[in-house]
Amino acid sequence: MENNSIKYKSDWIKSKALDLGFLDVKFARAEFMEAEAEKLKQWLDMNYHGQMSYMENHFEKRTDPTQLVEGAQSVICLSYNYYTQELQSDNSAPKISKYAYGRDYHKVIKKKLKQFQKEIKETFGDFNSRYFVDSAPVLERDWAKRSGLGWVGKNTLIISPKKGSYFFLAEIIVDFELEYDAPIDDYCGTCTKCIDACPTQAIDKEGYLMDASKCISYLTIELKDDKIPIEFKDQMENWMYGCDICQDVCPWNRFSSQHTEDDFVNKKGLLELTSEDWNNLDEEKFNELFEGSAVKRTKYKGLKRNIDFLNE
């Protein structure tokens, strides 16, 4: 088989992605996302994005990858596992989402993507491309759905029938053709566990629609107000940063497996902190615990606000 054939290139890229530690990789054709653009507009019109005003920006780029990369033909869609069976040792301590136990995933995965892009260029020659991980106007979930990485579940997260949903999404948009994968079926069926379990009723009663302004992850990370709205008092289920409830109850996550990323392992004793330790957290300890962590996004003031709200 010729080294420049579409099939050879597609097979090589998929094999290399797995070698680099990605959980899965699929390909989608780069094109304007008409249906997704309409859905995004409706979601924004309902103000379900809350204070995430950045979701309104760069609408054309967000829905058309050819606006991001000149001559774009393909979107390489990737997932990266962060699931762990590790839990905080004090059951009464304020809770932190699994994805934030270790080093900031943006830094970890971007390093992988940079290496991946470099190796593709060394093998097949130069090309136009950009890579992304949750930090640019890219509809990552929709590309994951289009490529067949998983289906969009009733909790609005991508679910893989073999790998669950505890994974990050990333993309490389490139200006060459690949063998494209197809979307897969939705296997949520009649299950409503995520809808029933959400304490703030952020998920629509029919599923597949999220009012992000009610989501605990939004309230503890994206909301920048001095106080969390009082209406959510006693609904936070002790989450101080992020929330895993709708994933924890999802039956498909019985297929999640322990990640193998050393950078996602907590090395600073975070999981051993007691409820008292968190209540007495000062800024110096915050900076020590969360150096290089995604939790730095809330700053000390934000995390302290969340902990205080849980104690009110």
Q: What is the pLDDT of residues 47-57, one digit of tens each?
A: 999 999 989 99
- The answer to whether residues 61 and 67 touch, using CB atoms and an 8 Å cutoff, is yes
Kindly list the distances between the CA atom of residue 191 and the CA atoms of 156, 202, 243, 247, in Å, as whole numbers in the listed order. 14, 17, 20, 13
Could you tell me the residue ranges of all domains in the chain?
Answer: 6-174
Task: Give the distance from CA 12 to its chain's centroid.
Answer: 26
Tell whether the model's pLDDT for residue 2 goes beyond 90.
no
Residue 2 phi, psi (nearest 5): -70, 145
Q: Indicate the pLDDT class of residue 199, thresholds 50, 70 and 90.
A: very high
What's the pLDDT score for residue 173?
98
Token readout for 122 is: 């060394």
Catalytic residue among 11, 19, 126, 134: 134
**Segment 59-84 mean pLDDT:** 96
pTM of the shown model: 0.96
Tell whether the model's pLDDT for residue 259 goes beyond 80.
yes
CA atoms of 166 and 284, how far apart (whole Å): 31
What percent of the chain has pLDDT above 90?
96
Tell whether the model's pLDDT for residue 243 goes beyond 70.
yes
User: Is residue 43 helix, strand or coil?
Assistant: helix
CA atoms of 51 and 79, how far apart (whole Å): 27
List Cβ neighbours of 246 (8 Å cut-off, separation of 6 or more): 155, 157, 194, 197, 198, 203
Active site residue 134: yes
Alpha helices in 176-229 (DSSP H): 193-197, 216-217
The closest of 187, 157, 162 to 248, measured between CA atoms, is: 157
Q: Indicate the pLDDT class of residue 1, thresholds 50, 70 and 90.
A: very low
Pick left, alpha or beta for residue 194 (phi over 0 → left; psi -120 to 50 → alpha; otherwise beta).
alpha
What's the pLDDT score for residue 12?
98
Tell whether the model's pLDDT for residue 37 goes beyond 60.
yes
Task: Give the distance from CA 228 to its chain's centroid.
Answer: 23
Residue 75 phi, psi (nearest 5): -115, 115
